[in-house]
Amino acid sequence: MKAVETLNPPPLMRLVSGHPRSETQDACLTMLIDELLVHRESVFRICLGFSRNYAEAEDLAQETYLKACQGLGNLKNPAISKAWLFRIAKNSCLDHQKKIRIRGRLLLRLAEESSRAGSVDTAADIGDALVRLKAAVRILPGKLKTVFVLREYVHLTYEEISATLNLRMGTVMSRLNRARKRIGAALQETCDGKS
């Protein structure tokens, strides 16, 4: 069986590997890459939602597209390329987060200290609220955070989140509801702690 697979790779694999391609196949590959590039802004928003840093998000988005181009041969159904690309973006971000957990803990401590300082300046209050919100999102469990970021930062529909994460619609709605409740409770705690 393996010998047959080696002699007859899947059509998409033939397009992206070193196999000779016809002009039609080149056009198909170009169309698929163009289809992936249409989602640049959404990929960037996913990355920004996870990293909260513009420069990091740009790097993660570039890494996502690099991984997608390298993995085009693994895409079994080009019709779901958008969900496939978003999954790569999410996984790239999660991998990146694993590498910077210590940095996240430091930022959380800084956020707690700044929320204790308090201020009467409206701009400072807004900044403080934003810091508290980011801290609340950061401490969400991974499954809840992922759904929350895809919905609130990237503005994906429930259907798109469901396809991206390979989850049932009810699971998406449930996780989003729990994420919102936990964020609300965390924000309420920090507000009560300031009083």
Q: Which pLDDT score, from 0 to 100, does residue 19 have?
A: 55
Q: For 90-125, write each residue's pLDDT tens digit.
A: 999 988 887 766 455 555 666 666 666 554 455 566
Q: Against a cut of 0.85, is the pTM above it?
A: no
pLDDT in tens, 16-64: 545 556 677 677 778 888 889 999 999 999 999 998 889 999 999 999 9
**pLDDT value, residue 27:** 76
| SS3 track for 111-145 | HHHHHHHCCCCHHHHHHHHHHHHHHHHHCCCHHHH
Tokens of 25: 């196949």
Across the chain, mean pLDDT equals 79
Q: How far apart are CA 188 and CA 184, in angstroms?
A: 6
Q: Which residue has the higher pLDDT, 68 or 111?
A: 68
Q: How far apart are the first and last CA of the chain?
A: 69
Residues composing the chain = 195
Sign of CA dihedral 138, 142, 145, 149: positive
7 pLDDT above the threshold of 50: no
The token duo for 134 is 């980011």
- CATH number for region 1-99: 1.10.1740.10
Q: Render pLDDT for 116-155 as a digit per residue (tens, 0 to 9).
A: 655 445 556 667 777 888 888 889 999 999 999 898 888 8
> Among the CATH numbers 3.40.50.720, 1.10.10.10, 3.40.50.1980, 3.90.1150.10, which is that of 102-195?
1.10.10.10
- Residue keyed to tokens 């693994």: 74
Domain residue extents for the chain = 1-99, 102-195
Q: Are 36 and 66 in contact (CB under 8 A)?
A: no
CA distance 165 to 143: 10
